[in-house]
Amino acid sequence: MNRRQRSAASRTAVAALAAAVAVTVTVALAQTPPGTTGDARRSGYHDMGPALRAMQDDDSANPAMLWVRDGEALWNRRLGAAAKACADCHGSAASMAGVAARYPAFDAQLGRPVSLEERINLCRTDRQKAEALAGGSRELLALSAYVALQSRGRPIAPPDDERLRSYVAAGEALFKRRLGQLNLSCAQCHDDNGGRRLGGALIPQAHPTAYPIYRLEWQGLGSLKRRLRGCLVGVRAEPFADDAPEYVSLELFLMRRARGMTLEAPGVRP
Amino acid sequence: MSSVLVNAPRSARRGDVIEIKTLILHPMESGFRAGANGTLIPRDIIERFTCAYNGVEVFRLALSPAIAANPFIAFSTVATETGTLVLRWTGDNGFAVEETLSIAVE
Amino acid sequence: MKGAMTSPPDRPPPTRRIFLVRATQAAGVLAMGASGVAMSPAAPASATPDSLQAAIRTVVGSAPLRDGKVTLDLPPLAENGNSVPLTVSVDSPMTPTDHVRAIHVFNEKNPQPHVMSAVLGPRAGRAQISVRIKLNDSQKVVAIAETSAGDFWTASADIVVTLAACVEEPS
């Protein structure tokens, strides 16, 4: 396919997807939560077939554990000008239990919220006197997967921190704002149509219960930020810059939206 | 950095059938996909996996590009004697990774 | 709707873009089960039932292929064709005189029909292997076991491979 055909095909695809979404949205009926009583929120885990749930459940079969193992090695490796390992300050990684369940958190020094990945990098630059790891790098994913694993089975418990309030509100506004050429908000897919199908694919409710996730589509481990970027491309919006504050705001809002749901990191998703 | 995850019992009774589950980090690039500029991404796969038990090959697998990225392979062997299991993955571009497990057999 | 579930054998597997167009033509997008996973526009013609048979013959030769003894465990529906768990087990005592020598897996519509071949013997204790495979479309998967007696046994399974509806960042 040459470039012109490609761009024509791409326009067709946008039109087709827009049409598909339009159909989905128009025939959308009132959502019936599973079980009907109580909490209608649902982790993407429960939307997967038994084969993929088994892949996540068995640590010797879950490919994300390849990264976790690397993360464990990194946790104990002395590096940087300070020649310190994570373990030198924090001791056993068990001390990280619950941390992934409450992040992003407000950093007083920076005067803004930081994600778990950014916190890991702040430790690297401030304490270890080492270079920050690139976003999406294997090492950063490995460390965040290892830290997140320590909170597996715990409920998501975002702090009631006054200083976070405006960021959470910004995240919620962003979640509800229409974006991109398809002019769709996160809420239109994941609140209004979560659990319904778009083409052959199920629209999840978008709860960040399992990050970082091993996504079969990626054939690798990826962060929530990568997932958000994928959604932005999906609605044909220009993704925010890598260091844009929008990502952490969205994450703050999503964690509150998922408050009390069980962390299952590192998860497997289609 | 380690790129292999192996799950196997460290000890067994003689005659037990033990299951060995392995994961290895590898893209398994099929050679049939086009990159961003439209040209094919060259094939880069693991072609072969073997397990030798005290020097004797007990299992071998030939992999085609249809094996998923980060290959998972689970197979079994009979615990015959105390010793080592040598797992070996080899493939395109000189890829070769070896992992040795020891097993105590009573 | 049923026609959109699988691509006809005389046509190349649909690309994601063609899929989207077809899906819209089919109008009832919501009920769509599955179609092809996007392969590159430059991807060669896929394997066909004929090339599948030819590949099987390279392993089996002219020996008869009988149904039975082999269990092919494959989910009926894969949410993503990039990694589909597959287990083949064969009913065999796995003794020095009566065992499975090899287990082969083939597919119908990937660019190549061969998926894997395992060589095992009585020291395996159990004739079973699990791997994860890539499937670029809904199709048939075939497992074949070769016994120490030189017999060939087979089982096959049909699988529906669904496709992500959202366009993603290029990998």
Mean pLDDT of A79-106: 98
A229 band by pLDDT with thresholds 50, 70 and 90: very high
Output DSSP code: residue A46.
G
DSSP one-letter code for B67: B
CATH entry 2.60.40.2470 includes domain C49-161? yes
Reading the block at residue A86, the tokens are: 């994570």
The whole-angstrom separation of Cα A48 and Cα A60 is 19
Note the pLDDT tens digit of each residue in A114-162. 999 999 999 999 999 999 999 999 999 999 999 999 999 999 999 999 9
DSSP tag of C98: S
State whether residue B95 is helix, strand or coil.
Answer: strand
CATH 1.10.760.10 matches A65-149:
yes
- Is A231 marked active-site? yes
pLDDT of residue A13: 52
The answer to which of A153-157, A187-191, C18-22 has the lowest mean pLDDT is C18-22
| Among candidate residues B77, B91, B6, the one with its CA nearest the CA of residue C119 | B77
Give the model's confidence band at A199: pLDDT under 50 very low, under 70 low, under 90 confident, else very high: confident
Q: Which percentage of chain A shows pLDDT scores above 70?
A: 86
Using the predicted structure, report yes or no on whether residue C13 has a pLDDT greater than 70.
no
What separation in angstroms does the CA of A211 have from each of A14, A44, A215? 29, 11, 10
Q: pLDDT of C147-167, one tens digit each? A: 999 999 999 999 999 876 676
Q: Is A96 helix (H, G, I), strand (E, B) or coil?
A: helix
Tell me what the mean pLDDT of segment C76-100 comes to. 97
**pLDDT value at residue A18:** 52
Q: Give start-end residues of each CATH 1.10.760.10 domain in chain A.
A: 40-48+156-269, 65-149
Joined together, the tokens standing for residue A110 give: 């920076």
Is the bond leading into A245 cis (omega within 30 degrees of zero)?
Answer: no
Query: In this predicted structure, what is the pLDDT of residue C29?
Result: 32
Its pTM stands at 0.84
Pair type for strands B56-63 and B46-53 = antiparallel
Tokens of A258: 């998922």
The per-type count for chain B, helices as H runs and strands as E runs, is: 0, 8
Q: What is the ipTM of this complex?
A: 0.95
Q: How confident is the model at residue A38 (pLDDT cuts 50, 70, 90)?
A: confident
Of C39, C114, C116, the CB nearest to B61: C116
**pLDDT tops 60 at residue A200:** yes
State the average pLDDT for chain C: 79
Q: Does residue A48 surpass a pLDDT of 90? A: yes
Paired strand residues for A105: A114
Domain, as residue range, for B46: 4-33+40-105
CATH superfamily of A40-48+156-269: Cytochrome c-like domain (1.10.760.10)
pLDDT at A267 over 90: yes
Interface probe, candidates B75, B77, B78, B80, chain C, greatest C C-beta count within 10 A: B75
- Binding-face residues of A in 37-66 toward B, CB within 8 A: 59-61, 63, 65-66
pLDDT reported for residue A177? 98
Q: Is the pLDDT of residue C123 over 90?
A: yes
Would you state the structure tokens that stand for residue A33, as one six-digit string?
């939560």
Tens-digit pLDDT profile for residues B29-57: 999 998 888 899 999 999 999 999 999 99
Determine contact, residues C146/C161, Cβ cutoff 8 Å.
Answer: no
| Record: contact B71-C131, CB cut-off 8 A | yes
Alpha-carbon distance of C60 to C143, in angstroms, equals 12
Q: Which residue of B has its CA nearest to C128?
A: B75
Average pLDDT on C27-52 reads: 48
Q: Taking a C-beta distance cutoff of 8 angstroms, is the pair A113, A255 a contact?
A: no
Gap between the Cα atoms of C92 and A225, Å rounded? 49
**Percent of chain C surpassing pLDDT 70:** 68
| CATH code, domain with B55 | 2.60.40.10
Beta-carbon separation of B70 and A220 below 8 A:
yes
Domain count, chain B: 1
Chain C partners within 8 Å of A223 (Cβ): none
In B, minimum Cα distance to C118 occurs at B61
Strands C65-67 and B17-24: unpaired
Q: Helix, strand, coil proportions of chain A in percent (round to 5)? A: 45, 10, 45
Amino acid present at C165: A
| Contact assessment for residue A211 and residue A251, using Cβ atoms and an 8 Å cutoff | no
Quote the CA–CA distance of A212 and A268 in Å, as a whole number. 9
| Residue C14: pLDDT band with limits 50, 70, 90 | very low
Domains of chain C by residue range: 2-31, 49-161
